[in-house]
Amino acid sequence: RKEVEQDPGPFNVPEGATVAFNCTYSNSASQSFFWYRQDCRKEPKLLMSVYSSGNEDGRFTAQLNRASQYISLLIRDSKLSDSATYLCVVNDSGNTGKLIFGQGTTLQVKP
């Protein structure tokens, strides 16, 4: 079982749709949580950090449930440019900052 699990998709949605991605992690001692975005053959780019209180950045909302070891990302009013792979990422419980990646969820926004 992978340490970080995501539904790989693909999610095919029309422009303007709302789409939600979910992720679970196995290590209850994990400290930090992130969503990264990766475009084809490019480097992962930080989309947002995830906090228990929830955080919002424009059309993007992330939520963390430590009790359930569950992380979510909500994208509202999808744009064509949102098409990418979204990686759920967990910082290992140690102090070294090692990141553990989920397998990614592919989003394709269609006109």
| Residue closer to other proteins (CB basis): 32 or 72 | 32
Note whether 99 binds other proteins by CB under 8 A: yes
Residue 2 CB neighbours (<10 A): 12
Is there a contact between 31 and 38 (Cβ–Cβ < 8 Å)?
A: no
Residue count at the site for other proteins (CB under 8 A)?
24
Longest dimension (CA), the chain: 44
Note whether 10 binds other proteins by CB under 8 A: no
Note whether 91 binds other proteins by CB under 8 A: yes
| Residue closer to other proteins (CB basis): 40 or 111 | 40
**Nearest to residue 101, comparing CAs of 84, 82, 86?**
86
Is there a contact between 9 and 68 (Cβ–Cβ < 8 Å)?
A: no
Residues that bind other proteins (CB under 8 A): 31-32, 34, 41-46, 49, 87, 91-92, 94-104
